[in-house]
Chain A
Amino acid sequence: DGGITQSPKYLFRKEGQNVTLSCEQNLNHDAMYWYRQDPGQGLRLIYYSQIVNDFQKGDIAEGYSVSREKKESFPLTVTSAQKNPTAFYLCASSTGGGTAGETQYFGPGTRLLVL
């Protein structure tokens, strides 16, 4: 099956702890994205990557970090600097054509809760 997988489905973070959310895709897409969704709010972009070994900050990057060492993987680390991490995190990918008209394919999401 082709698609995007995210793990875990639920993640609990203790105060001061860093946690990493996994995102893997087998769609051979160049571009990958991380979004945060809070109740009643739209998707807000955390980080995005257009190509391996390159990534850019989105609108709410503070307290988060990413890496893109492989085309198929784009893990997100929520650091202790993120003071309000409770949210639904969505990973997405696209072929990365910019103005060509790109569909984003989303994973099932990870819900992060603070203990």
Chain B
Amino acid sequence: SQKIEQNSEALNIQEGKTATLTCNYTNYSPAYLQWYRQDPGRGPVFLLLIRENEKEKRKERLKVTFDTTLKQSLFHITASQPADSATYLCALPTSGTYKYIFGTGTRLKVLA
């Protein structure tokens, strides 16, 4: 069955550094992959979508890569700020349906 794995351990980094989060998937070749941000007690908010034919996508301080050979996406936040502290989720559409599967998310804490 299709699976997504994200590092369940929290990631602590110093303000100003680059945070890198990983999303791995198996048994699947998705047409695209999404990243969401979730703050405690709130619903996820969409950040970026990258398609299978795109190697890299950028939005302000955010960068996403998509390696279909490794079946992996990397999510980077450059010049990180304490306000970037949140849980980041990756999500994939399942083939042939309107369903999505989500990873468990990685909690990022940016230390001032």
Q: Which residues of A contact B (CB under 8 A)?
A: 4, 31, 33, 35, 40-43, 45, 48, 50, 58, 88, 90, 92, 94, 96, 98-99, 101-109, 111
Contacts and interface: CB of A to CB of B under 8 A. Distances in A.
B99 interface: yes
A58 B99 contact: yes
B111 interface: no
Interface residues of B, number: 28
Nearest to B4: A42
A106 B89 CA distance: 13
Contact of A48 (B43, B44, B51, B98): B98
Contacts, number: 64
B103 A42 contact: yes
A38 B41 CA distance: 11
Most chain A beta-carbon neighbours within 10 Å: one of B31, B32, B46:
B46
B44 A106 contact: yes
A104 B91 contact: yes
Contact of A98 (B89, B93, B104): B93
Interface of B: 4, 8, 31-32, 34, 36, 41-46, 49, 51, 89, 91, 93, 95-105
Contacts of B46: 103-105
Contacts of B89: 42-43
A90 B43 contact: yes
Contacts of A43: 44, 89, 102
Given A42-B89, A43-B89, A50-B98, A109 B42 contact: yes
A59 B5 CA distance: 17
Nearest to B41: A109
A102 B42 CA distance: 20
29 contacts: A35-B102, A41-B104, A42-B101, A42-B102, A42-B104, A43-B44, A43-B102, A48-B99, A50-B98, A58-B99, A88-B41, A90-B43, A92-B43, A94-B98, A98-B93, A98-B96, A98-B97, A99-B31, A102-B93, A103-B49, A104-B34, A105-B46, A106-B44, A106-B45, A107-B43, A108-B43, A109-B42, A109-B43, A111-B41
